[in-house]
Amino acid sequence: MFRLTTIRAATAALVLIALAAWSVHGDYLAREITAEIAILAILVLALDLVAGFGGMVSLAHGAIMGVGAYGYALANLAGLPPWPAALVGIVASTATGGVIGAISARLTGVFFLMVTLAFGQMIWALTFRADALGGDNGLGGIARPALPFVDSNDPLVFALYALLMLLACLLLCVAVLRSPFGHRFQAVHDNPARAAALGFAPERIRAQGFAISSMLAGVAGVLAAQHMQFVSPELMVWTASGEVLVVLILGGIGSVTGAMVGAAGYLLLKHWAAGWTDHWHLAVGLLLIAVVLAGGRGLSGLLERRRDA
């Protein structure tokens, strides 16, 4: 059962404040990386909701996020202003996730993994080959949203906007987990037999949880499209989903705040290591092994345990 402990709240606040401070005082690249971290953190948060609390390890989240990004891009390119277009993107992701969830909710473990992988690959392949979607060349010329008083094309403004969105998603995630639905969702995972005996419909609850998670992935997709002002099937390829899973495990699965710690740690390590070697994946791999061997609770888990001891 999820508890927003003091240390979790403090970690989340600390990461958000540190990132905001870094982008205010940092250079152009710092602001770009902050926006990247915020977007990845939202996507990891979405995956944590289903994988960490519902036991549904999905390999379709990259593709679901991509649907949101393409939904936003297509709606915007068709002439819709950014905010309604964002709604289109989020609805598209939620609907896609709803369908995938409804079909695969009865499966568990490796079977669930395989079915989501298949769905993700189908979405990727369709996009990759579709001439109308630009194929592998992607779509460009996407607008950023109009914000009151500030210009979202300013990297600093966009970084802070992305951090605000991350905070909103974080609060939404906590609210969902604390709601009666959230309790049922976790109960269905923790003890399916007892949950069924209490009259819950496990499949429906799992499918609904998957749709909510897909909605968050859609927010990440819309933000990614706004950030890059460009979308391509690269967003949806299954290794992108795998990367999200790696970041989740790195940060700490089932802890909510782990998403932020993982995303920040992963991208900072990537940009720092890529500066001096083409083999930065190796550094990430070694860190992942170390984190898993140290108890599998991720970077945020290590932090928490230190305090408990």
- Which of 25, 78, 131, 309 binds other proteins (CB under 8 A)? It is 131
Q: What is the three-class DSSP state of 139?
A: strand
CA neighbor of 259 nearest in space, from 60, 54, 39: 39
Q: Tell me, rounded to whole angstroms, the distance of Cα 105 from its chain centroid.
A: 20
Q: Is 143 in the site for other proteins (CB under 8 A)?
A: no
* Six token digits for residue 90: 């989020």
Give the nearer residue to other proteins in terms of CB position, either 200 or 280.
280
Interacting stretch for other proteins, rule CB under 8 A, among 6-14, 54-62, 229-237, 253-261? 229-237
Cβ of residue 129: shortest distance to other proteins, in angstroms?
5
Q: How many residues bind other proteins (CB under 8 A)?
A: 24
Cβ of residue 36: shortest distance to other proteins, in angstroms?
8
- Spatial distance between the Cα atoms of 241 and 227, rounded to a whole number of angstroms: 19
Q: DSSP assignment of 151-179, as one string?
A: -TTSHHHHHHHHHHHHHHHHHHHHHHHHS
Give the nearer residue to other proteins in terms of CB position, either 12 or 225.
225
Cβ of residue 32: shortest distance to other proteins, in angstroms?
6
Give the nearer residue to other proteins in terms of CB position, either 34 or 255.
34
Half-sphere CA count of 192, side-chain side, radius 13 A: 13
Give the nearer residue to other proteins in terms of CB position, either 101 or 134.
134
Q: What is the three-class DSSP state of 42?
A: helix
Interacting stretch for other proteins, rule CB under 8 A, among 10-18, 79-87, 129-137, 188-196? 129-137
Cβ(127)–Cβ(64) under 8 Å? no
For 77, the enclosing helix (H) or strand (E) is helix 61-77
Interacting stretch for other proteins, rule CB under 8 A, among 13-21, 81-89, 112-120, 127-135? 127-135
Residues 6+ apart with CB under 8 A from 232: 134, 136, 137, 138, 139
- Which of 66, 97, 101, 155 binds other proteins (CB under 8 A)? It is 155
- Here's the x/- map for other proteins, 236-275, by CB under 8 A: it reads as --------------------------------------x-
Name the DSSP class of 295.
Answer: T
- In this structure, which amino acid lies at residue 293? L
Interacting stretch for other proteins, rule CB under 8 A, among 97-105, 134-142, 160-168, 293-301? 134-142
Q: Interface residues for other proteins in 7-36 (CB under 8 A)?
A: 27-29, 32, 36
- Which of 55, 98, 135, 192 binds other proteins (CB under 8 A)? It is 135
* Six token digits for residue 39: 């977007």
Q: What are the helix (H) ranges across the chain?
A: 6-25, 28-47, 53-54, 61-77, 82-104, 109-129, 155-178, 180-190, 192-197, 202-228, 238-251, 257-274, 280-293, 298-308
Give contact residues for other proteins (rule: CB under 8 A).
27-29, 32, 36, 128-129, 131, 134-138, 140-141, 155, 228-230, 232, 234-235, 274, 278
